[in-house]
Structure formats: structure tokens, C-alpha cells
């Protein structure tokens, strides 16, 4: 109930703001709008049509707009290119230049090159230089998600000098929870928390009290690995170095939250056999085009299953009842394989599965597959015995389930572990692929056992 009341209040507030905006009540609108949280400002802004957005630009300065653009997350129905369609180019350039540089670079990466060139040419030279430096890095690397707005201190400073410097530059920095120490060549030498700096003696030298053991990443490191480091160490910020150990930027916790969300969405899409670029705003034709490559590949794999059934046509003709349990065996094998795949991919992506524990995980999944297969097999054996009075058929189905489910869990675990070992994203081993592969293997096992016991089945 409280959440419903809160949402209602926000909607009422948005309606009042919209009225002020359209009535040209500049003072009232500015007072109420700027009193909102940046997230609420961005939600209000995204709900406006083009005409209302033009009115908003007239009432707010580029710097004020940049405050909520910094935190704005657009959904699939919007695009940054569309947002800048009616915004004056000079206004947009100033606004982007006032944003945190890493967020500005992220937005420019989404825009056509012609607009990027225009905005960089129109904005402040120093801001443009900082943003250009970030645009040079690959999008999914530490360099691509870092910010260059951080606080660094010289190791030769005293605490008193450091505090004075900190007061001067803090307003230009994205975070000051950590202070990074550099030597005379701008190489990372140590780190201090703001708390450690505040409680230190004013006359002490930074180099004497800093923590020299610093965890850092290179500009080329993959963002998924960076996210794992920050999660393991509970960091609020992580320094980024170039190949000469110069401190070139930091990655903050809010950037990593976006990375985790992005990586989780990507892994989910791949596990489901879909394109990561698929959007809820896509048309039926666009959605079909993105899914067809996977589905066509799986169709050809399905043809293998059809060919196998034709090979064992004589077996089925002799004992027609065998065909009734094909969906059960292939379905159970596919399900258990997908479960093991999900566990393995999640463990690899979160860092829970280490190199030393891979064998243990594989044996655990094999054991799990054997136990679940045995239990399910015994249950179906009893059911077949009661319904058909066919103990041999029950035994074949039981053994097929045990072997198929054991093999399926092994495949579901080994394939992503192997892919991770050779440097391929394990999520590529999609659920549909593993399911189809296990269908083929389970049918081979089923019909091999059926042929083995054919004499008993016919008596």
C-alpha cells in the first residue's frame, strides 16, 4: 500500500510540473523540478513529448539538464539520437561537456559520428579532450567504463597540503571516498581512504602513511572481470592503469552496477538462444530476423534426431510402445543438462567456480545427474510395471533415464567450463543448443538399450 500511495504522489507532482511547464511558470517550475531527485527528474523528462522538452530546455540551463542526464537510463522505446533531435547543438554540446566524462562518452558512443563531431567541436576544449580520450577505448573494457574525474595526490605532499588540494578539486571529481597517490612520473604508488586522510597528523607525508598495496586493473581488461574484482573486494572505486602503470582513471561502483546488469542480460539472452540486441520495441520481422540464425542451426540439429528415428524404424515397428517414452527421456535429459549449464555459467560469471574447483563441480553435477536419474528411473519403472506389466520395457526406460541424465549433466557442466578455459564466453553454450545435443545423445542411449534387450521385449 505505501508504494502505491508514493507512486500516486509522484504522478500528481509530475502533472503539476507539466502544468507549470506549459503555463510558462518559470520560477515555480524551476523550484519544484530542481527539488526532485535526479532519477525523478529524468523520469519526468523521458515522459515529455518533443514540444514539452523544448520548453524545458528554455527554463533550465545546460548544466542543470546534465545533472539528470548523468543518471538517466533510457528504455528500448527511446534512443539518445532521438533525444538530441530537437535540442540545439550548442546547448547539447555544453550539456554533455558538463556531464561526468565517462557518462558523456557512453552517450556519444550511441550517437551518429556526425553528431559526435559537432558536439565535440562546440564544447569546451578541455572537456572535449577528456571525452575524446575515453572514446578511444573499447566499449566493454576497463578503459571504456572508467572516468577521468578522480582525486590524486602526490606522495611528497603533507596531509595539510593534501586536504587543501582536496577541497579545491573535490567538486570536479566523481567520488572522493578513495584518494589515489601518484609519484613524480604519475605512476600509481598507493591509496588512502578519505577517513584515513582526515584522522592523519597534518605534518605527516602522504608517502609515509599511504597503503602501498593497491589492487588495480589495466585499461584493456574486460569489464566482466573488473566487476568481479570490485564485488570480491567490496570496493567503491578501482584505479585503472595504462601499460606503463600511469593512473589514467577510476571505475566507480555505480558504473559496475550497470556492467553487472548488462552482463546478466547478455548471458540470459545467450542462454535462451537469442541475440543480445533484441528489444521489446522490435517489430515481428526484426525479432524473427534476430532469432532465425539460432533456430535454423537448431533445426539442422533436429534433423539428426529425425534421421536417428528413421534408422531405428525397425526397432519401433517391432515394439511400438517404445515411441511413447521418447519425449520423456529426451525431455528429462534436456532439462537436467540445462540446469547444469545454468549452474556452471552462473558460477563462472560470478567467480564462484575457480580453476581448482572445476573438477569438483563436474563430479558433483555428474553425481547429481546419476541420483536424480536413478530416482526418476525407478519411479517410471514402477509406473510401467503397473500400467503395462512390461518389466523389460520399464528396465530399458529406467536405465535410459539414469544414463541420459548423468551424461546430460556432464555435458551441461563440461561444455561451458571448456569454453571458459579457451577464452570463449560460456554463455554461448546456449540452453537450446545443449538441449538439442542431449536429445540426440539420449535417443542413441535409449535405442541402443532397446536393441540390446529386443529379444526380451518380444517374448
Closest CA to 206 of 230, 222, 184: 184
Q: Is residue 143 part of a domain?
A: no
Q: Is residue 279 part of a domain?
A: no
For residues 232 and 349, state if they share a domain. Answer: no
Looking at beta carbons, which pairs linking 221-224 to residues 24 or more positions away fall under 8 Å? 221/141, 221/142, 222/140, 222/141, 222/142, 223/140, 223/141, 223/142, 223/144, 223/145, 223/259, 223/263, 224/140, 224/259, 224/263, 224/349
**Would the pLDDT of 278 be above 60?**
no
Is residue 5 very low, low, confident or very high in pLDDT (cuts 50, 70, 90)? very low
pLDDT of residue 427: 62
Q: Is residue 342 part of a domain?
A: yes
For residues 303 and 215, state if they share a domain. Answer: no
Domain count, the chain: 3
Is residue 322 very low, low, confident or very high in pLDDT (cuts 50, 70, 90)? confident
Last residue of a domain, one of 110, 136, 162: 136
Residues of the chain above pLDDT 70, percent = 83
Q: Is residue 187 part of a domain?
A: yes
The SS3 assignment for 394 reads: helix
For residues 308 and 205, state if they share a domain. Answer: no
The residue with greater pLDDT, 258 or 188, is: 188
Q: Is residue 402 part of a domain?
A: yes
For residues 263 and 311, state if they share a domain. Answer: no
Nearest-angstrom CA–CA distance, 95 and 72: 14
Mean pLDDT estimate for the chain: 83
**Which residues neighbour 41 within 8 Å (Cβ) at sequence distance 6 or greater?**
33, 67, 68
For residues 289 and 220, state if they share a domain. Answer: no
Across 346-421, the runs of DSSP E, i.e. the strands, are none
CATH code, domain with 178: 3.10.580.10
Q: Is residue 141 part of a domain?
A: no
For residues 258 and 327, state if they share a domain. Answer: no
CATH code, domain with 338: 1.10.357.20
**Would the pLDDT of 28 be above 90?**
yes
Q: Is residue 277 part of a domain?
A: no
pLDDT of residue 8: 62
Last residue of a domain, one of 136, 162, 178: 136
Supply 264's cell numbers: 546478466
What are residue 300's phi and psi, to 5 degrees? -65, -35
pLDDT of residue 218: 93
pTM (two decimals):
0.58
For residues 320 and 446, state if they share a domain. Answer: yes
Nearest-angstrom CA–CA distance, 428 and 419: 8
Q: Is residue 437 part of a domain?
A: yes
For residues 291 and 320, state if they share a domain. Answer: yes
**Would the pLDDT of 456 be above 80?**
no
DSSP single-letter state for residue 170: G
pLDDT of residue 302: 64
Residue whose C-alpha cell is 567467480? 351
For residues 242 and 288, state if they share a domain. Answer: no
pLDDT of residue 282: 59
CATH code, domain with 91: 1.25.60.10
Nearest-angstrom CA–CA distance, 259 and 131: 20
For residues 57 and 177, state if they share a domain. Answer: no
pLDDT of residue 21: 93
Contact 221, 238 (CB under 8 A): no
pLDDT of residue 379: 93
Amino acid at each position: 500500500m505505501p508504494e502505491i500511495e508514493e507512486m500516486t504522489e509522484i504522478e500528481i507532482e509530475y502533472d503539476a510540473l507539466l502544468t507549470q511547464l506549459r503555463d510558462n511558470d518559470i520560477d515555480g517550475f524551476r523550484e519544484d523540478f530542481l527539488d526532485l531527485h535526479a532519477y525523478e527528474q529524468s523520469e519526468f523528462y523521458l515522459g515529455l513529448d518533443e514540444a514539452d522538452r523544448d520548453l524545458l530546455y528554455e527554463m533550465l540551463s545546460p548544466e542543470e539538464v546534465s545533472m539528470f542526464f548523468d543518471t538517466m537510463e533510457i528504455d528500448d522505446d527511446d534512443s539518445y539520437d532521438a533525444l538530441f533531435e530537437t535540442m540545439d547543438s550548442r546547448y547539447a554540446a555544453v550539456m554533455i561537456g558538463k556531464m561526468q566524462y565517462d557518462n558523456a562518452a557512453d552517450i556519444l558512443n550511441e550517437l551518429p559520428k556526425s553528431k559526435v563531431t559537432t558536439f565535440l567541436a562546440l564544447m569546451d576544449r578541455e572537456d572535449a579532450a577528456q571525452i575524446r580520450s575515453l572514446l578511444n577505448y573499447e566499449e566493454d573494457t576497463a578503459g571504456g567504463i572508467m572516468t577521468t574525474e578522480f582525486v590524486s595526490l602526490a606522495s611528497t605532499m603533507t596531509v595539510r597540503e593534501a586536504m587543501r588540494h582536496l577541497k579545491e578539486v573535490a567538486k570536479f571529481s566523481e567520488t572522493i571516498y578513495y584518494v589515489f597517490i601518484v609519484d613524480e612520473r604519475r605512476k600509481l604508488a598507493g591509496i588512502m581512504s578519505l577517513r584515513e586522510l582526515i584522522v592523519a597528523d597534518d605534518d605527516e607525508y602522504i608517502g609515509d602513511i599511504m597503503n602501498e598495496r593497491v589492487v588495480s586493473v589495466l585499461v584493456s581488461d574486460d569489464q566482466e572481470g573488473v566487476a568481479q574484482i570490485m564485488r570480491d573486494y567490496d570496493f567503491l572505486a578501482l584505479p585503472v592503469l595504462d601499460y606503463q602503470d600511469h593512473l589514467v582513471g577510476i571505475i566507480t561502483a555505480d558504473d559496475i552496477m550497470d556492467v553487472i546488469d548488462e552482463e546478466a542480460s547478455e548471458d540470459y539472452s545467450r542462454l535462451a538462444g537469442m541475440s543480445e540486441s533484441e528489444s521489446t520495441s522490435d517489430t515481428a520481422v526484426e525479432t524473427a530476423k534476430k532469432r532465425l540464425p539460432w533456430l535454423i542451426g537448431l533445426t539442422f540439429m533436429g534433423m539428426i534426431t529425425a534421421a536417428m528415428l528413421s534408422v531405428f524404424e525397425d526397432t519401433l515397428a517391432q515394439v511400438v510402445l517404445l515411441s511413447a517414452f521418447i519425449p520423456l527421456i529426451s525431455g528429462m535429459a534436456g532439462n537436467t543438462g540445462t540446469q547444469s549449464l545454468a549452474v556452471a555459467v552462473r558460477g563462472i560469471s560470478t567467480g564462484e567456480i575457480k580453476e581448482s574447483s572445476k573438477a569438483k563441480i563436474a563430479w558433483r553435477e555428474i553425481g547429481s545427474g546419476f541420483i536424480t536419474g536413478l530416482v526418476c528411473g525407478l519411479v517410471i519403472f514402477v509406473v510401467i510395471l503397473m500400467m503395462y506389466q512390461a518389466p523389460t520395457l520399464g528396465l530399458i526406460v529406467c536405465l535410459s533415464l539414469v544414463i541420459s541424465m548423468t551424461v546430460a549433466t556432464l555435458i551441461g557442466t563440461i561444455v561451458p567450463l571448456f569454453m571458459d578455459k579457451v577464452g570463449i564466453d560460456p554463455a554461448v553454450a546456449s540452453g537450446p543448443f545443449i538441449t538439442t545435443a542431449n536429445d540426440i545423445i539420449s535417443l542413441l542411449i535409449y535405442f541402443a538399450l532397446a536393441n540390446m534387450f529386443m529379444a526380451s521385449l518380444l517374448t
